[in-house]
Structure 1
Amino acid sequence: MHGSTETVLSGGHNGLRRALARHPMIILALAVACMPLALVATVTMPIGPMYWDHYIYLDAANRIFDGQIPSVDFFAPVGGLGYYLFAGWLYLFPNGHPLLLSSWSLMTLTAPLMALVIVDVQKRSMATAYGLLLPFLFFSLLPFNTGDFYPYPGSDGFGVYNRQVCQLLYVLAAGLVFVRGWKTLATVTALAMLALLFIKVTGVVGGLVLCLMAFLAGRLPLRAAVAGGSVFLAAAGLLEITSGAVSAYATDILSLVVINDSSLLPRLLQAASINFGVILACCLLGLVLVVSELPVFRAALRDFIGKPGFSAFGRIADQSFLWMAGFIAAGLLFESQNTGSQAFIFLWPLLLAILIENYRRKGSSAGFAAVAILVFSAAIPPVVIVTQKAARAFIGSVNNTPLEHDNLKSMGAVGIRSILSQRAQRLQTNYVAYRPAYQALAEAGELPSFLLYSDFEFQSQWLKNADEVISAIETFETANKVRFETIMTIDFTNPFPWLMDRHAPKYIAIGADPYRAVPPLDAHVKQAVDAVDLALYPTCPPTAARLALLNLYQPVLAEGHRRITLTPCFDAFVRTGITKVP
């Protein structure tokens, strides 16, 4: 009996292994099915550098729940699709951690698109299907950037939309390189490009470079390109007719271009330097491929000269080293506009194709070994970095203490080391006692620390101060028998309307970086600021950015609002028509 049971169990395990080996879609389905388990209850995340960046999603979702449309009703630094996906997941999982919701909500799009790619690829090679699927899941499920911006381990709450673009580019690249069914390819290309456009416009620029390379090389057939382009234009046109969102988005992009008027070359050099290891490996691989494919390239060139045509030109363009050049150009263009990203992860589908093709042609030779070494030299660094950052963050969180709060909902589910909490409290005492000194620093355009926004103590203290000011607002409302329906902040992010179940005023920019993402005030913005019930101004510490925002909004607030002190670290502008402010 024992032996027969053991045989059955063994057969069951073998059957499961065979099923998983033959059906990568099961792995994708399991990964998607497991995500809600981490979202039903609030998970405590270790705090990280620039952690407040993802609070923008809470502000945007609250505005969307109020019926506001990104770019139409408020200025946003990126497209509105990511905000809508987050709002939908927040509605389904109200207790889910905002960082996980903002990161994973893109799977609403990428998982089905990747499924289309896998179904097509597995017809020819199950191993290749897994080779595409597993890295996709790895980068999609671990919300960490490939760049380092702070020495301490923590969650990467910034650059969420940049990571999302990289994951979409990965799916697009997998489709362009491996998918053979033209209908599937047209679908993946059209939907991926639409998503790229409405998440971040620089993402669609990178996607266009990939699509152009595939088209010239004959991998994106004309009928697939026409069908995909038609779907793309039809969807964008329908959205414009129904909401005006496309033209409004274009206006926002033009405003950002004016605000960020700087040369592209320094940004490209910066992107190349940050990702130097990957770029160097790809350049060396390109040189090896040039030498290897030169005879084929010359033959294709001679054929084209003898008998010009699109198919002959496609054979010229369909060279691995040219594909590599196109992918690197796309990555550099996108990364030149980023802080925080999963840079160049979309190279893997191309690198995998190069590895497979070289093995088919050369077998276990020295030439193949050279290609393989360079392929993995380019592919492994992002995997190692994300693995290391995730391991450090979650292993280090054993020493973290959960943040104590009363009013922050799931946003306050963070942990921080006790020594940093103590430092945060000591710094705050210093900010309050010596405010004129920090005010002078802000007026001189300097921060108390060059890495202030990355410092964990700044991020944790911002949360504590937010918790305290909400209590102060509620006390003020009770004492004065009023209710502030519209709340804005004179700061980078404004989650207070969501935290207090109130409303954010229309037209005011979210993600308010005065140097990069806040256009000059127009009549609509001035009217909205003038009508706001409560404008919060954090003062621990004063910073150049906060001071710039204050100088921008204060002239509008001056006539209809009175400035009061709510807490030692928060001043407020209260609309005089709503109450008699003491």
Structure 2
Amino acid sequence: MSDIASDTRRGSRFRIGLFSPPLILAFFCAALFSLLMLPLTVPIGAFYWDTFIYFDAANRLGNGQVPSVDFFAPAGPLGYWLFAFLIGIFPLAQPVLLAQWMILAVAAPLFALVLLDADRRSRTIALALVLPFILFVALPINATQYSSYPSIDGFGYYNRQCIHLLYVLTAALLFATNRMVVVTVLTGTMTALFLTKITGFAAGGLLCAFAVLAGRVAIREGFLILSGFAAILLALQLADGVTLAYVNDLLTLAAMNEGVLLQRFLQAGSLHFGIVASAGLLCAVLLFAERRDLADAAGSLTPRALLPGLARLFDRGSMWLGVGLVAGLFFETQNTGSQPFVFIWPIVLAILVNVGHLKGKLLVACLALAAATTLPSLVSTLQKAARALVGQMNYVAIDLPNLKTLDQVSQRAEIVDRSATVLNLYKRHPATFQAFADDRILPDFTFYTAPDMHLTWLRAIDDGVEAIRAYEAANDVRFETIFSLNFTNPFPYLMDRDAPKGVPIGADPSRTVPQPNAFVLSEIARTDLVLYPKCPITISNVELYGVYEAVLDTRTRISLSPCWDGLLRQGFGADGSAGGGTRP
């Protein structure tokens, strides 16, 4: 692979034109952000309520709260900062599209530097880098299929954002030769990865460490990158204390989600077997083709010229692909939805640039395995996106007036109608779903993946907003702080209120809800209204109540609607006669 640099150093003039890759990237970003000005709808899919997390975070940030300092978060603060900033600029934006495209605010400028550098030497390579990037960033599509209906994926945002950042980082390591570009892009991408998801940062760190070993990054450049990274984190710590608070959250999450790493590697490998097997075979073929050169490089290692010797030994396609494969597998061990291994395309591209010396069967094998490694993700993403686009032509939108932009989704008319019927069943038969919760199971094993579940949940949220407003009007009160005992808490955002500090966003009792300390319990105690959802009652609702039971049992319980019980702060002004009910 070392001959990539020498082959592509020829021609250093900056070129621009209609097919200039940096210009294509700029037009692409402009087009996507223009679409955010329109009230578009997208076909709702599995786990859509993950999108609500960003609104919860944006509302908290708008009210002065700081990620990790004032609320527990399932991922790094960068996405919340970007979403909170951009939702103010694009108030009509479809939430899934905004959450998907916002990473361009960070990734695009860094990638433009790489493209400018690569384009000076080879426009073909620069185009081959930019076109896959814009395709995968544009489409909120995961590799894993959770819904049989054509739809978009309103979850896995953190994972896709990391994949896109890793793509930029890998492209810089392999195709940027300007040292300032390399240092700047690696500093920016590694910082963004750290502030997005720690497993993405670990995967990027592995690639960067190997780049030092392969001679792509000089040791002094490594110190510059580390210094820049540390300076940014120090500035954030001095500004609002977010860095150390985020590290503490990471340690808490690690303790709550500890598992057998080997088992998770095997699971990730089996889920993405086609890509992993093809890439592994490509590594093996390349190692076989390079066996004599590898033996010579290993035999010529001397202490006096150790670094150049290591670079000759490791800076080759087989080694880069192997490291990329390990980094990708490690990253996927913690993912539910993602665009897995997309970031290894720059590595495969570098391999393709250098296979010209191979002949006959070896060349055919390399080309076939390179295609088998990269084309499945491309074909699957395009196929799912095309199904969603065509399917939406026959879909109907749902109109729920209290949800701002959260209802900018569509689905088959039968499923939309079914969601209204199911909500009515939840209201009429709460005991049935309480029985499921009592037995610690969901109404269906794949309950949260069904689009109609999330449409029903949207209807329940709309019902809750209406019920709260009706109660406030009838009793001449206003709940300034609201907290919902559910996975997400969209009410403060939808009603322009506040949420209590300390409580997590994205509250999964099994993974992301630590035991509350005295501060968190005091915040819950001071919250005006705590909502207990009953459409439907689930084991998670019951468990969340149990987490905060010490301060909830003393509250006055009222029935706001068949879907929502309200737990009022003591002394708020209600005598309890408006409802009542029993503890969950």
Please say whether Structure 1 and Structure 2 have the same fold, judged by a TM-score greater than 0.5: yes
Structure-2 separation of matches of 1:572 and 1:97: 30
Report the structure, 1 or 2, having the larger helix content.
1
The question of 1:19 aligning with 2:14 is answered no
Aligned partner of 2:358 in structure 1 is: 362
SS in 2 for 1:249: helix
Compute the displacement of 1:536 (Å). 1.3
More deviation in 425-434 or 152-161?
A: 425-434
Aligned partner of 1:114 in structure 2 is: 111
Compute the displacement of 1:244 (Å). 1.4
The question of 1:427 aligning with 2:435 is answered no
Structure-2 separation of matches of 1:306 and 1:471: 74
The question of 1:476 aligning with 2:476 is answered no
From 244, 248, 257, give the equivalent of 1:247: 244
Q: For residues 499-578 of structure 1, what are the structure 2 equivalents within 5 Å?
A: 499-559=494-554, 561-578=555-572
Structure-2 separation of matches of 1:577 and 1:34: 53
Q: Is the CA contact (8 Å cut-off) linking 2:147 and 2:451 kept in structure 1?
A: no
Aligned length: 562
Q: Is the CA contact (8 Å cut-off) linking 1:239 and 1:245 kept in structure 2?
A: yes
Deviations 1:506-536 (A, max 9, x none): 1111000000000001011101100111111
TM-score norm. by structure 2 comes to 0.94
More deviation in 545-554 or 106-115?
A: 545-554
Structure 1: state its 5+ residue gaps: 1-17
Q: For residues 312-351 of structure 1, what are the structure 2 equivalents within 5 Å?
A: 312-351=309-348
Deviations 1:93-129 (A, max 9, x none): 1111111111111100110011000011011100000
Compute the displacement of 1:383 (Å). 0.9
Aligned partner of 1:15 in structure 2 is: none
Compute the displacement of 1:439 (Å). 1.2
Q: Is the CA contact (8 Å cut-off) linking 1:453 and 1:459 kept in structure 2?
A: yes
Compute the displacement of 1:426 (Å). 3.0
Compute the displacement of 1:20 (Å). 2.1
Compute the displacement of 1:422 (Å). 2.8
Structure-1 separation of matches of 2:440 and 2:264: 23
More deviation in 408-417 or 222-231?
A: 222-231
Structure-1 separation of matches of 2:390 and 2:196: 32
Compute the displacement of 1:242 (Å). 2.2
Q: For residues 200-215 of structure 1, what are the structure 2 equivalents within 5 Å?
A: 200-215=197-212
Deviations 1:32-74 (A, max 9, x none): 1112321112111111100110110000001011111100010
Structure-1 separation of matches of 2:400 and 2:121: 55
Structure-2 separation of matches of 1:523 and 1:181: 53
Structure 2: state its 5+ residue gaps: 1-15, 579-584
Tell me the amino acid that sits aligned with residue 362 of structure 1.
L
Compute the displacement of 1:19 (Å). 2.5
- Between the aligned residues of both structures, percent identity stands at 41
Structure-1 separation of matches of 2:407 and 2:541: 23
Aligned partner of 2:254 in structure 1 is: 257
Tell me the amino acid that sits aligned with residue 48 of structure 1.
G
More deviation in 313-322 or 345-354?
A: 313-322
TM-score norm. by structure 1 comes to 0.94
Compute the displacement of 1:308 (Å). 4.9
Q: Is the CA contact (8 Å cut-off) linking 1:74 and 1:508 kept in structure 2?
A: yes
SS in 1 for 2:245: helix
Q: Is the CA contact (8 Å cut-off) linking 2:545 and 2:552 kept in structure 1?
A: no
Structure-2 separation of matches of 1:270 and 1:292: 31
Aligned partner of 2:485 in structure 1 is: 490
Q: Is the CA contact (8 Å cut-off) linking 1:166 and 1:344 kept in structure 2?
A: yes
Tell me the amino acid that sits aligned with residue 445 of structure 2.
F
Tell me the amino acid that sits aligned with residue 251 of structure 1.
N
Tell me the amino acid that sits aligned with residue 438 of structure 1.
F
Tell me the amino acid that sits aligned with residue 401 of structure 1.
V
SS in 1 for 2:396: strand
Compute the displacement of 1:245 (Å). 0.9
Tell me the amino acid that sits aligned with residue 55 of structure 1.
F
Compute the displacement of 1:362 (Å). 3.1
Structure-2 separation of matches of 1:430 and 1:374: 52
The question of 1:410 aligning with 2:410 is answered no
SS in 1 for 2:145: coil
SS in 2 for 1:20: coil
Deviations 1:288-327 (A, max 9, x none): 0010111111111111058551111221122322211111
Q: Is the CA contact (8 Å cut-off) linking 2:317 and 2:350 kept in structure 1?
A: no
Compute the displacement of 1:75 (Å). 0.4
More deviation in 522-531 or 241-250?
A: 241-250
The question of 1:188 aligning with 2:185 is answered yes
The alignment's C-alpha RMSD in Å is 1.5
SS in 2 for 1:504: coil
Q: For residues 37-56 of structure 1, what are the structure 2 equivalents within 5 Å?
A: 37-56=34-53
Q: Is the CA contact (8 Å cut-off) linking 1:46 and 1:155 kept in structure 2?
A: yes
SS in 1 for 2:470: helix
Compute the displacement of 1:233 (Å). 1.1
Aligned partner of 2:308 in structure 1 is: 311
Structure-1 separation of matches of 2:297 and 2:345: 26
SS in 2 for 1:460: helix
Deviations 1:237-261 (A, max 9, x none): 2211222111101110111111112
Structure-2 separation of matches of 1:126 and 1:412: 43
Q: Is the CA contact (8 Å cut-off) linking 2:420 and 2:459 kept in structure 1?
A: no
Structure-2 separation of matches of 1:236 and 1:408: 36
Compute the displacement of 1:430 (Å). 3.0
Tell me the amino acid that sits aligned with residue 382 of structure 2.
T
Tell me the amino acid that sits aligned with residue 433 of structure 1.
R
